Amino acid sequence: MKTTDNIKETLHKLGLKELNHGVSTGSENFGGGEEITSYSPVDGQLIGKVTSATKEDYERVMESATSAFKTFRTMPAPQRGEIVRQFGEKLRELKQPLGELVSYEMGKSLQEGLGEVQEMIDICDFAVGLSRQLHGLTMHSERPGHRMYEQYHPLGVVGIISAFNFPVAVWAWNTALAWICGDVCVWKPSEKAPLCGVACQNIIAEVLKENNLPEGISCLVNGDYKVGEYMTADKRVPLVSATGSTRMGKIVAQAVAGRLGKSLLELGGNNAIIVTPDADVKMTVIGAVFGAVGTAGQRCTSTRRLIIHDSMYDKVKDAIVDAYKQLRIGNPLDENNHVGPLIDKDAVKMYQDALTKVVEEGGNILVEGGVLEGEGYESGCYVKPAIAEAENHFEIVQHETFAPILYLMKYSGDVENAIELQNGVAQGLSSAIMTNNLREAERFLSAAGSDCGIANVNIGTSGAEIGGAFGGEKETGGGRESGSDAWKIYMRRQTNTINYTTELPLAQGIKFDL
């Protein structure tokens, strides 16, 4: 287990210091703004400091990025793929220290921290293959001697705003694809995990330098919401990819739409698992517990609601409550523990307020929560995963609480009633059904079924693979990242018509003789 005493070795391997430049265009590192201080939620200790971006720093970054794009867009896509391949190899070499940093700075378990770095590696592998598959289409023209086709070109500068809960993977999902597409990237990491951003920039900067590529292909701009405002208002940034709360996403969407830019939004989730009479209870418990307490409930795909058929309710409830007794809460760098801390004390207060609210609205606490104190819990960020019986219409249930609180509720009758409850929230990210009934499963996956971007059968709501497009509907924002054809949002589409005759026929038979 890594401790505070030897975490310095991890920081050293990633090129991190006590005070780090939080603005970078590659090998050029600077930042004249206020310092951002990073404390670990694991033990409350100071990890390091990062300088933030001033308006002048941001302009310097944008000048570098727009200049780099002119070169990078002309590099053949397979050659850009080679750069991403090398980045993936660096990540393999540094998987252990980077995973440890993610765990220590954000608070998720070491297994999850390492898993997040593995997601970065996986998306690099996916992107390398994609670099030879940026396909367009060929169409038949209605005019003789003409050929029509469509192709995709790079957009330009892609702005990336990421959240604390996945401080490195979400950036990689975006940037690996954007680079393959010929874009350059400007990244604003969460100010709650700034060192993870600096570490990633250090890694890619080394790759770019080794390949004699220009400054600006990968840029970093640490700072608060003001830096995000620079980006969303900037016409030089044709696409802004933002991950965070629905409140934040609405602000970004309006600002970007106001200048007719494109936005890719990955916002809140309020995810449910439906448990039917034909469910496998053991599988249900595994999926629900991991989904509810993994990353201390701080995933956008975390399981918030368990919608259980009344004939199965007591059996499933008892099994879930019993499973919670086995959870080990503590230092996430100790692989024996299942649950680490929340990100900070603001998150702890939100957790406490939610538990108070659900009782006020008529809910019943099945597994009591609370803040842990004493040896090993000095940061004040460790809480007990809680379970409450609730109703779907409760105000607190309708909102996403980024904490390990699971709401249990009943449904009766057929699966349509459960689906109505599942869909009866403003968010539409992830969903799941536990059933061995083929008709129920297909009904859940049909057009009249789950309204979420992700709908699973006999697995939980969390743990999406990079091969599929990731994202959700309604107040989740409608964006798609990672696999499938998500690459298309990072490019502009162009239709081409070529006339290889000596005549120029006009559309609809119009005559225009000269």
213 found inside a domain: yes
The CATH number linked to 290 is 3.40.309.10
239 found inside a domain: yes
Q: How many domains does the chain have?
A: 2
- Whether residue 221 sits in one domain with residue 167: yes
- Whether residue 284 sits in one domain with residue 221: no
- Whether residue 259 sits in one domain with residue 193: yes
The CATH number linked to 27 is 3.40.605.10
Q: What is the pLDDT of residue 5?
A: 64
514 found inside a domain: no
The one-letter code for the residue type at 31 is G
Determine how many CB atoms are found less than 10 A away from the CB of residue 255.
18
Residue recorded with tokens 């970078």: 24
Q: pLDDT in tens for each of the 514 residues of the chain?
A: 555 568 999 999 999 999 999 999 999 999 999 999 999 999 999 999 999 999 999 999 999 999 999 999 999 999 999 999 999 999 999 999 999 999 999 999 999 999 999 999 999 999 999 999 999 999 999 999 999 999 999 999 999 999 999 999 999 999 999 999 999 999 999 999 999 999 999 999 999 999 999 999 999 999 999 999 999 999 999 999 999 999 999 999 999 999 999 999 999 999 999 999 999 999 999 999 999 999 999 999 999 999 999 999 999 999 999 999 999 999 999 999 999 999 999 999 999 999 999 999 999 999 999 999 999 999 999 999 999 999 999 999 999 999 999 999 999 999 999 999 999 999 999 999 999 999 999 999 999 999 999 999 999 999 889 999 999 999 999 999 999 999 999 999 999 999 999 999 877 777 776 6
- Whether residue 338 sits in one domain with residue 324: yes
Radius of gyration of the chain (CA): 25
**Euclidean distance between CA atoms 122 and 467, whole angstroms:** 9
412 found inside a domain: yes
- Whether residue 399 sits in one domain with residue 322: yes
437 found inside a domain: yes
- Whether residue 32 sits in one domain with residue 64: yes
Catalytic option among 300, 400, 440, 481: 300
**Euclidean distance between CA atoms 23 and 28, whole angstroms:** 8
pLDDT tens digits, 340-377: 999 999 999 999 999 999 999 999 999 999 999 999 99
Sequence-separated contacts (24+) of 87-92 with Cβ below 8 Å: 87/124, 87/176, 87/203, 87/204, 87/207, 88/120, 88/121, 88/124, 88/125, 88/128, 90/203, 90/204, 90/206, 90/207, 91/117, 91/120, 91/121, 91/124, 91/203, 92/121
Q: Length of the chain, please?
A: 514
427 found inside a domain: yes
As a whole-number percent, the residues of the chain with pLDDT over 90 amount to 96
Residue ranges in 14-167 assigned as alpha helix (H): 55-72, 77-93, 95-106, 110-130
> What is the domain extent for residue 14?
7-267+477-494
- Whether residue 407 sits in one domain with residue 394: yes
266 classed as catalytic: yes
- Whether residue 246 sits in one domain with residue 306: no
397 found inside a domain: yes
- Whether residue 310 sits in one domain with residue 442: yes
456 found inside a domain: yes
Q: What is the pLDDT of residue 435?
A: 98
pLDDT tens digits, 460-475: 999 889 999 999 999 9
- Whether residue 343 sits in one domain with residue 195: no
- Whether residue 202 sits in one domain with residue 91: yes
Phi, psi of 225 (to 5 degrees): -60, -25
Q: What is the pLDDT of residue 182?
A: 98
- Whether residue 397 sits in one domain with residue 258: no
14, 20, 23, 25: CA torsion to nearest 10? -40
pTM of the model: 0.96
Q: Residue 384 in 3-state DSSP?
A: coil
Catalytic option among 266, 400, 440, 475: 266
Q: CA-CA distances (angstroms) from residue 178 to 4, 21, 101, 335?
A: 36, 24, 25, 34
Minimal CA–CA distance to 454: which of 432, 433, 475, 487?
432
**Euclidean distance between CA atoms 391 and 396, whole angstroms:** 10
